[in-house]
Amino acid sequence: MTEITSAVSLEKKDNIGILAIDNPPVNALGIKVRKGLADGIEMAEKDSDIEAMVIMGRGRAFSAGADIREFGKPMEEPHLPDVLGKIENCSKPVVAAIQGTTFGGGLETALSCHFRIAVKNASFGLPEVKLGLLPGASGTQRLPRVMGVEKALNMITSGNPIGVKEALDSGLIDEIAEGELEDAAVAFAKKVLSEKRPIVKVSEKEDQIAYAREHPEIFDEFRKKNARRFRGFEAPEACIKAVEAAVNKPFKEGVKYERQLFAELMEGSQSAAQRYYFFAERQVSKIPDIPKDTPTYDINKVGIIGAGTMGGGIAMNFANAGIPVKIVDQKQDFLDRGLGVIRDNYERSASKGKMTQDDVEKRMGLITGTMSMEDLSDVDLVIEAVYENIDLKKDIFKRLDSICKDGAILATNTSYLDVNEIAAETGRPEWVLGLHFFSPANVMRLLEIVRAEKTSKEVLATALAIARKIRKIAAVVGVCYGFAGNRMFAQRKRESERLVLEGAPPTQIDKVIYDFGFPMGPFALADLIGIDVGWDRDNSNSRTLQEVLCEMGRLGQKSGAGYYKYEKGSRTPIQDPEVEKIIADFAAKQGIKRRDDITDEEILERCIYPIINEGAKIIEEKIAVRPSDLDVIWVNGYGWPIYRGGPMFYADLVGLDKVLETMKKYEAKFGDEWKPAGLLEKLVNEGKKFGDLNG
Ligand code: 3HC
């Protein structure tokens, strides 16, 4: 075996040369790999003992693509497109032997080989679009040439991988390999030689793109069909343009055009945000004082208190992961309703083809209801999900402490309340923490793990492990009112409500926030969630706009009217002059001076900058580990557009000096709530960014 570089080796098996990439953890195509592949092909060309080549990856991947850590820095030669050109132009047959992840540049490498075989665990994808990019080493030109334009467009613009069967059916691979991959690949290469199969250069294939050449309308149809999914993103349109070029231009020109689009995207802020976010999401689970080898406890049985929307959604996460769940509620009626909603959710997924009826029954079989809290004596984890009332929660934890076995973790799903206070009700505060799920809990990926003062490291490590198991993205936060996410969110809520009273119609505010990239604005969101959430019906006395609207029965979508009106059975908000009058009347009563000159810019500043400022305070108070964790929270829990990275990344992009100046401008106008965080001032003084604190 010859070590060409520290990441690529060349070995001969009879007349076959095996070029193996070994660059843990995922065989990213950094400089050592690119150089190794290029030199390896050259060596094989010159070696008369070698008649055919196999390229493969060691470890868990063929290759996960370009090394993202190299992006944004000057790229060392050889560049990937040149390496791939060398592979395709090799005069000896080259077989890609594929296992595990084959993504991005990894798949582009496989596509530059003359043949591809793969084992069953292989997955193939071009996820560049998720980094705000497009495949930049001829993937947009080669993929349509092997699988046709429509399938390629789907893969490239979604970034989602396909499995080995789909790869075979679509023509992406030639064969599924049985047994040991290396042996199968050598045998395949020998067969190619013995059958004198002609070398297949994907760049020269035309048959799969011929249809699209005659039907150029498929591109606009694709654009139209996916307009909602692509809204705000720059990369998908670039992907489509590049595939159009694959159809309309000769290969070489198409590659050039793809390269140009790639470079443009790479320089833009969207890709910078999405690449930043990629690492932020991987960093969030790393807690400085919880090393990887911190012992964790087995969680084999879970108890949930409360069969409402939240409890039910939480239960589904565990059932999906094959973990049995007991749900406790006070009345059989509540349990029946809760379990009914869970079943309906599963049935809906089954009717969409996302799971089989058998899966539905299996999951339902894992969820049982009980009216007796004593039935939780054998569970390893309890999650309390009753409504927000500290006395009720304290009472529940006191009871749990006497019922649950030693070694059971006790968690509260509170969104705001003091987890230390709740933990203090038990004789085991080190086993208590917050697991704050976001609604709908079976859908939303975010989980805030609230680390209380006495939560033990092992319990925290277990919570992180369980989050992974139920496929959540977990951010560890400390105890304070609203923790990280809701505490920041409250700032936007406050300002948007003031803005309507000052004269900006809900439609204007919602449009500004929607155009920024959120899925909806604050008022459409309030109507969706229900304006009565948090409303104290018994003590309501028209003191706030919320109270006024709720007293009038304008509860949002569910009552047909809120900040908007809704036609029966429709979720589409319709502007409602009546609500604008209600708001104006209420503002008059409050003595609020209304203006008709509130600009979109003011709305954006007032809705976004206080979120950033609160984030800075949260970092200062060590409620969150690092600024990028707050970005992960906002992207996954609050619909912050990923192409803007998250509020803290966005602040760095805008410039912290501008954020500070804007905070000061409004502080002068509105007072203390706009007082800049000490950390914000400090970073500006030191010429630093939030990004410098991510470490
Ligand atoms: N470059 C650099 N590092 C990478 C990487 C890449 N392409 N892919 C993964 N890593 C790193 C991760 O940051 C992580 O590092 P850490 O342990 O220090 O945190 C480690 O590899 C393991 O990754 P994960 O924790 O994500 O492990 P998983 O097993 O959950 O997932 C994966 C593995 C499916 C490969 C996933 O990491 C992934 O999707 N990677 C991104 C792949 C990608 O986007 N490829 C396209 C790159 S762009 C490109 O190829 C451009 C080309 O067209 C020119």
H-type alpha helices, 231-292: 235-248, 251-267, 269-283
Q: Which atom of ligand 1 is nearest to the CA of 69?
A: 2
Task: Tell which one of 26, 126, 133 to mutate to probe ligand 1, the residue whose CB is within 8 A of the most ligand atoms.
Answer: 26
Residue 19 one-letter amino acid:
L
Question: Residue 654 C-alpha to ligand 1 middle, in angstroms?
Answer: 28
Estimate the share of the chain in helix, then strand, then coil, as percent rounded to the nearest 5: 55, 10, 35
- Which letter does DSSP use for residue 145 in this model? H
Terminal Cα-to-Cα distance of the chain (whole angstroms): 39
Does the pTM of the predicted model rise above 0.85? yes
Give all domains of the chain, ordered by start, each with its CATH number. Answer: 2-267 (3.90.226.10), 302-481 (3.40.50.720), 484-503+596-695 (1.10.1040.50), 519-589 (1.10.1040.10)
Angle, in degrees to the nearest 10, between helices 600-620 and 647-654 = 110
Can you give the pLDDT at residue 502?
A: 97
Residues 32, 35, 39, 41, CA torsion sign: positive
Task: Tell which one of 68, 111, 694 to mutate to probe ligand 1, the residue whose CB is within 8 A of the most ligand atoms.
Answer: 68
Active site residue 45: no
Nearest CA to ligand 1 atom 52: 105
Measured from the CB, is residue 281 less than 6 Å from ligand 1? no
Nearest CA to ligand 1 atom 36: 64
Can you give the pLDDT at residue 126?
A: 98
Rounded distance, CA 584 to CA 500, Å? 9
Question: Residue 109 C-alpha to ligand 1 middle, in angstroms?
Answer: 16
Active site residue 108: yes
Helix or strand or coil: residue 259?
helix
Rounded distance, CA 616 to CA 610, Å? 10
Measured from the CB, is residue 136 less than 6 Å from ligand 1? yes
Q: Which of 108, 95, 93 is nearest to 33 (CA)?
A: 108
pLDDT in tens, 579-605: 999 999 999 999 999 999 999 999 999
Can you give the pLDDT at residue 507?
A: 96
Strand partners, 667: none
Question: Can you read off the two tokens belonging to residue 375?
Answer: 């039935």
Measured from the CB, is residue 261 less than 6 Å from ligand 1? no
Question: Can you read off the two tokens belonging to residue 623?
Answer: 């409620």
Question: Residue 64 C-alpha to ligand 1 middle, in angstroms?
Answer: 6
> Mean pLDDT for each consecutive 10-residue tract of the chain (695 residues)?
94 97 97 97 96 97 95 90 97 98 98 98 98 98 98 98 98 96 98 97 96 96 97 98 98 97 97 97 96 97 96 98 98 96 96 96 98 98 94 97 98 96 98 96 96 98 98 98 97 96 97 98 94 87 94 95 94 94 96 96 98 98 98 97 98 98 97 97 98 92
With a CB cutoff of 8 Å and minimum separation 6, the contacts of 297 are 380, 407, 409, 458, 459, 462
Element (H, E) at 597: none
Can you give the pLDDT at residue 451?
A: 98
Contact 102, 110 (CB under 8 A): yes
Rounded distance, CA 529 to CA 440, Å? 10
Nearest CA to ligand 1 atom 35: 64
Measured from the CB, is residue 132 less than 6 Å from ligand 1? no
Measured from the CB, is residue 127 less than 6 Å from ligand 1? yes
Q: What b/e sequence results for 336-371 when a residue is b if at least 16 CB atoms lie within 10 Å of its CB, and e otherwise?
A: eebbebbbebbeebbeeeebeeeebeebeebbebbe
Rounded distance, CA 31 to CA 325, Å? 49
Q: Which of 88, 108, 497, 614 is catalytic?
A: 108
Contact 529, 521 (CB under 8 A): no
Q: What angle do CA 237, 243, 245 make, to 5 degrees?
A: 105
Rounded distance, CA 441 to CA 525, Å? 17
- 265-269, long-range: CB < 8 A, 24+ apart: 265/132, 265/133, 265/134, 265/234, 265/235, 265/238, 266/71, 266/72, 266/133, 266/136, 268/132, 268/234, 269/644, 269/653
Measured from the CB, is residue 135 less than 6 Å from ligand 1? yes
Q: Which atom of ligand 1 is nearest to the CA of 106?
A: 50
- Which letter does DSSP use for residue 30 in this model? -
Question: Residue 68 C-alpha to ligand 1 middle, in angstroms?
Answer: 8
Nearest CA to ligand 1 atom 1: 67
Can you give the pLDDT at residue 1?
A: 86
Q: Which atom of ligand 1 is nearest to the CA of 66?
A: 50
List of E strands, 38-155: 52-57, 61-63, 94-98, 101-103, 115-118, 123-125
Angle, in degrees to the nearest 10, between helices 600-620 and 485-502 = 150
Q: Which atom of ligand 1 is nearest to the CA of 283?
A: 19
Query: Across the chain, how many H-helices and E-strands are there?
Result: 29, 18
Can you give the pLDDT at residue 534?
A: 77
Contact 646, 278 (CB under 8 A): no
Nearest CA to ligand 1 atom 46: 104
Residues 375, 379, 384, 386, CA torsion sign: negative
Residue 348 one-letter amino acid:
R
Report the C-alpha dihedral over residues 406, 412, 418, 424, rounded to 10 degrees.
Answer: -20
